[in-house]
Amino acid sequence: MPFRLLVPLGLLCALLPLHHGAPGPGGTAPDPAHYRERVKAMFYHAYDSYLENAFPYDELRPLTCDGHDTWGSFSLTLIDALDTLLILGNVSEFQRVVEVLQDNVDFDIDVNASVFETNIRDPNFMEVIFYQTLHFVVGGLLSAHLLSKKAGVEVEAGWPCSGPLLRMAEEAARKLLPAFQTPTGMPYGTVNLLHGVNPGETPVTCTAGIGTFIVEFATLSSLTGDPVFEDVARVALMRLWESRSDIGLVGNHIDVLTGKWVAQDSGIGAGVDSYFEYLVKGAILLQDKKLMAMFLEYNKAIRNYTRFDDWYLWVQMYKGTVSMPVFQSLEAYWPGLQSLIGDIDNAMRTFLNYYTVWKQFGGLPEFYNIPQGYTVEKREGYPLRPELIESAMYLYRATGDPTLLELGRDAVESIEKISKVECGFATIKDLRDHKLDNRMESFFLAETVKYLYLLFDPTNFIHNNGSTFDAVITPYGECILGAGGYIFNTEAHPIDPAALHCCQRLKEEQWEVEDLMREFYSLKRNRSRFQKKTMSSGPWQPPAGPGTTSSENQDETREKRPTKQKIPLLSCPSQPFTSKLALLGQVFLDSS
Ligand code: DMJ
């Protein structure tokens, strides 16, 4: 029976544990090189077993050393593992898998696939089983498409604006579009790949299943030139925003035909999580202030109503009263998301709370009752989820705090000790007795292992700060890729934000970039002139008038263009100067 309890606020605060159990100052920082090799070995133990025992099924069953399809039969684990191969440096296997997927994955099949998450839930909505398919297929194929050149794949002319993996991602995404044809514009949760939405399909979809498309769909629209994907994703986001309660919160499940909230528990976890994630990542990816403003408004309401001593509880979306003092493992992405908007202190405090739970069980139980300080009945499992490791990777990139490496070490040690079996790594059915389940979800190779590796590999290309980049000639002109600032989709598939400017270089953007170049070079010139001046005695003089080579003159020559609004760069405060600029596909090295 799911856990519901209305606890008087005062009592609640008294019950809450306060940061105890954080790693002691004496904890020796783990050796990144050693753990990098351990994580790489974990990946190949699971990956090789999947290829040997389960491919072309979606997932490996590690206890019976065979495979099964999880609602889609797209060799999901292979698609999900593809960009992890490149992050681990295995370009030859990346190239081989790209060929295999082109020959094996077919979306024209009579299958009901989940658009985002299909829930088999009981009336209390808490019994959910996730089957993530088409949405994550699109993300995995898009990321692999954009990484193809770096992986030495012979890309076709017109790349990154065309390519076999891009066409596959587009085909899969087009299969999702019928789901968005509802009166509200919010999508159904399931679609048949041949026939569209089945008659009688439930109109109830979870909030995350409506609000987790902008990253992939905006990227698709930018690369293919067809705005339909970004448009449907934006409409769905706007409808959710308009459906929020007067106290600024959203519920968990909504009827996409009537727009009425069916499940009104509000929190940052199951059924809602990636909606907030994509408001922030969409804002950074698209330089979209409105998306960031929506998130910041939600963030205020979440703080006011659901945060108690850096834990986050579930509350009733209209009343704000606590309905469930539970920490869900899925919620551990939140500190990482906070770091993306520069809210490091709050992020670290919540991270340390969650780390105490990891230390208590050697993993994060699906549900943890905060006042009781223990697991919730029937929710004691840990399906090797990535969220706390994901937050550690982001926070370590922002702070360099060794405590975050210690979480990485503890994760490697306990996953290897508890869930490693002959044919891979198995979901932990119960963290109290370490019973295992015959399942290895595809996100283990797509996310858990990837974030662990990136935590221990600070010089990985994914962490690039704009100091290196690749200049690519596209049909739309030159564009800069691989400079950094990658945006991870909710399944940890990295999207290069500069790629969104490669295929539709709008005139304004061209001007935008040239303005920045001019600003940058005049800054650089003045600084070097000043330095020379101070070196060679006497006060500094302003630059000489007409006839000099400076860029100012270029202005006179360019036809007068309408005054355009200067778009403040929405880069995260902790981003270095260069990667700010990288977001626009231009890179200006500033060694200052
Ligand atoms: C993954 O499918 C995705 O990370 C999703 O956003 C949340 N659930 C799992 C991982 O826990």
Residue 365: other Cβ atoms inside 10 A: 24
Predicted pLDDT at 23: 47
Single-letter residue type at 108: D
- Cα separation of 237 and 249, whole Å? 14
Using the structure block, give the residue that is written with the tokens 């869900």.
328
- Written as one string, the DSSP assignment of 379-390 is ---B----HHHH
**Ligand 1 centroid distance, CA of 558 (Å):** 49
The tens digit of pLDDT for each residue in 111-137 reads 887 776 544 444 444 444 444 556 778
| Residue 10: burial class (beta carbons within 10 Å; 0-12, 13-18, 19+) | exposed
Instruction: Tell me if 81 sits within 8 A of 91, measured CB to CB.
Output: no
Residues 143-175 as b/e (b if ≥16 CB within 10 A, e otherwise) read bbbbbbbebebebeeebbbbbbbbebbbbbbeb
At 47, list the tokens. Answer: 């990956």
How many CA within 13 A on the CB side of residue 495? 30
Paired tokens of 4: 């519901």
What separation in Å is there between the alpha carbon of 488 and the centre of ligand 1? 12
Distance 479 CA to ligand 1 centre (A): 32
Q: Is the CB of 224 under 6 A from ligand 1?
A: no
Residue numbers of the chain with a pLDDT score lower than 50: 1-25, 118-131, 538-567, 571-592
Ligand 1 pocket test target in 58, 116, 132, 428 with most atoms within 8 Å of CB: 132
Give the position, in ligand 1's atom list, of the atom nearest the Cα of 274.
6
| d(C-alpha 383, C-alpha 236), whole Å | 30
Report the alpha-carbon distance of residue 271 to residue 201 in Å, rounded. 18
Beta bridge partners of 440: 60
Phi, psi of 159 (to 5 degrees): -60, 140
Alpha-carbon distance of 487 to 281, in angstroms, equals: 7
Q: Is the CB of 221 under 6 A from ligand 1?
A: no
CA dist., res. 213 & res. 529, Å (int): 49
Both tokens assigned to 272: 């809602």
Q: Which atom of ligand 1 is nearest to the CA of 490?
A: 6
- Spot the catalytic one: 288, 387, 441, 457: 387
* Burial profile 541-556: b = 16 or more Cβ within 10 angstroms, e = fewer: eeeeeeeeeebeeeee
Among 170, 265, 273, 491, the active-site one is 273
The DSSP secondary structure of 53-121, one letter per residue, reads HTTTSSEEETTTTEEE--SS-S-HHHHHHHHHHHHTT-HHHHHHHHHHHHHH----S--EEESS-----
Task: Extract the runs of DSSP E, i.e. beta strands, from 228-284.
Answer: 253-255, 261-263, 265-266
Q: Is-catalytic flag, 273?
A: yes
From the candidates 59, 80, 93, 117, give the one annotated as an active-site residue.
Answer: 117
Residue with tokens 């992405």: 333
- Dig out the tokens for 52 from the structure: 């040997």
Per-residue tokens: 539: 């006060």
Q: In what helix (H) or strand (E) does residue 369 lie, and over which residues does it extend? A: strand 367-369
> Residue 137, Cβ neighbours under 10 Å: how many?
30
Q: Is the CB of 73 under 6 A from ligand 1?
A: no
DSSP 179: G
Which distant-in-sequence residues (6+ apart) come within 8 Å of 154 by Cβ? none
In the residue annotation, 117 being an active-site residue is answered as yes
**Sole residue written with tokens 């000099």:** 548
Q: Of ligand 1's atoms, which has the minimum distance to the CA of residue 383?
A: 11
Determine contact, residues 100/164, Cβ cutoff 8 Å: no
Annotation marks residue 413 as catalytic:
no
- Cis peptide leading into 160, omega within 30 of 0? yes
Answer for the pair 414, 363: CB distance below 8 angstroms, yes or no: yes
Q: Write down how long the chain is.
A: 592
Q: Is 312 helix (H, G, I), strand (E, B) or coil?
A: strand
What is the greatest pairwise CA distance in the chain? 83
> Quick one: pLDDT at residue 344?
97
Judge whether 94 and 151 are in contact, CB under 8 Å: yes
Identify the residue whose C-alpha is closest to ligand 1 atom 10.
Answer: 385
Cis peptide before 56, with omega less than 30 degrees from 0? yes
**SS3 (DSSP) at 435:** strand
CA angle 529, 530, 532 (to 5 degrees): 65
The yes-or-no answer on residue 401 being catalytic is no
CB within 8 A of 315, min separation 6: which ones? 249, 265, 266, 267, 305, 306, 321, 322, 323
- Cα atoms in the Cβ-side hemisphere of radius 13 Å centred on 332: 30
The predicted pLDDT at position 505 comes to 56
Burial of 526 (0-12, 13-18, 19+ CB in 10 A): middle
Q: Which of 572, 359, 338 is nearest to 465 (CA)?
A: 572
Task: Say which DSSP state 171 is in.
Answer: H
Q: Atom 5 (ligand 1): residue with closest C-alpha?
A: 490
Which of 136, 210, 442, 447 has most ligand 1 atoms within 8 Å of its beta carbon, as the pocket-test mutant?
Answer: 447
Return all residues near 63 (Cβ < 8 A) that are at least 6 apart. Answer: 421, 423, 426, 436, 437, 438
- Which pLDDT belongs to residue 475? 79
Extract the tokens encoding 8.
């008087």
222 lines ligand 1 (CB under 6 A): no
CB of 376 closer than 8 Å to CB of 365: yes
Ligand 1 neighbourhood includes 274 CB (under 6 angstroms) = yes
Please report, in angstroms and rounded to a whole number, the separation of the first and last CA atoms in the chain: 59
Other CB atoms within 10 Å distance of the CB of residue 512: 18
